[in-house]
């Protein structure tokens, strides 16, 4: 069993959930050995999902500020 692969899987799960708005994810795992096989079980506590309602951007440069405001819709 390659434990570095388990760590990569946990990171992939965390990245996926982060992209879906779960910013406080806790992930752990357990390993159960059966003869020549190992079963990895992941435990995920996603916490609350966050939804970004509004994003406001501004710039000191008037042209850039106008561009940002025109392209935010």
The pLDDT tens digits of the residues spanning 7-66 come to 999 999 999 999 999 999 999 999 999 999 999 999 999 999 998 888 888 889 999 988
pTM reported for the whole predicted model: 0.69
| Alpha carbon distance 66, 62 (integer Å) | 6
Instruction: Give the pairing type, strands 26-34 and 37-45.
Output: antiparallel
């Amino acid at each position: 069993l390659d434990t570095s692969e388990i760590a990569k899987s946990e990171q992939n799960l965390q990245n996926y959930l982060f992209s879906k708005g779960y910013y406080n994810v806790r992930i752990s795992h357990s390993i159960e050995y059966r003869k020549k096989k190992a079963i990895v079980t992941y435990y995920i506590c996603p916490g609350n999902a966050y939804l970004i309602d509004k994003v406001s951007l501004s710039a000191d440069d008037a042209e850039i500020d106008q561009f940002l405001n025109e392209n935010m819709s």
